[in-house]
Amino acid sequence: MVGDLNVIRTAATITGIRGVELQVTAGARNLRDWDVVRQYKRESDRWDMRIPSLAGIWDKGVSISSPGAVESLQLTIRAAEILGCGVILAAFFKENAPDVNREESYAPVVRNLRKAAPAAADAGVIIGLENSLSPADNCKLLDLVGHPAVRVYYDLYNMTTFGHGAEAVPGVKVLGRERICAVHVKNGDKLIEEPGPLDWVAAFAAFNEIGYAGWFTYETSHKSTPTCLADTARNNVFLAKHLHMPAAAS
């Protein structure tokens, strides 16, 4: 979210919520404006809330394979470093996702990620790929890039949306702890505990098994702020029941 600093304060009122993922390029004043970046930093410090990741990073007309991708990534890396983010979400779906079996398709993507990866590493930031590729093809893409600052921002619900539903939960182990840098949690317009296309109990068991200890980020829509507060509280209870959460530092 971006454009309303109140999102930080609102999130801080929900027990169990530790941070907010922000959109970079959305809104008239956004995270391409360094004054706005600093405002969000001050607000997150004020409410003791992390900004663990940034999404919506592409400038107008830019995709992962276009010449402007490196600049979009570099500008986002700078914002992430100021905000103390560990991950920036680089999304590319359908026609923007490369065929990892054809060099002419994947080469521009690999080239752009290799150019941006050193700056990300220097800033302590991971470029997290969220896309419509299968878990196995994501492994191939990461191997082609060959840089530890490029990993997968795993969205199991997206796997069901883009025809990889049977691979969504097994994909946790296919990718493994070293390749997954962050996880989106969602169930369409339902609570996470409600029946949907994805078995979240099995998914959380798989994350527990590989020892994943990164962020789980809700990507959910709500009709109003009170509904958001109530739904998130319910979702938090469900996650706490099924995840092996690390103990808080004293």
C-alpha to C-alpha distance for 216 and 192, rounded to whole angstroms: 12
- With vertex at residue 69, the alpha carbon angle to CA 67 and CA 74, rounded to the nearest 5 degrees, is 125
Report the helix count and the strand count for the chain, using DSSP H and E: 9, 7
C-alpha to C-alpha distance for 104 and 159, rounded to whole angstroms: 24
Q: What pLDDT, on the 0 to 100 scale, is given for residue 245?
A: 64
- What pTM, to 2 d.p., does this model score? 0.95
Asked whether 217 and 182 are in contact (CB, 8 A), the reply is yes
Q: Which CATH class is domain 6-239?
A: alpha beta
Q: What pLDDT, on the 0 to 100 scale, is given for residue 9?
A: 92
- List, as one string, the DSSP characters of 16-40: T--B--EESS-SSS-TTSHHHHHHH
Q: What is the pLDDT of residues 121-143, one digit of tens each?
A: 999 999 999 999 999 999 999 99
C-alpha to C-alpha distance for 150 and 166, rounded to whole angstroms: 25
Residue 250's pLDDT band, with cuts at 50, 70 and 90, is: very low
How much is the mean pLDDT over the chain? 94
Q: Residue ranges per domain, the chain?
A: 6-239
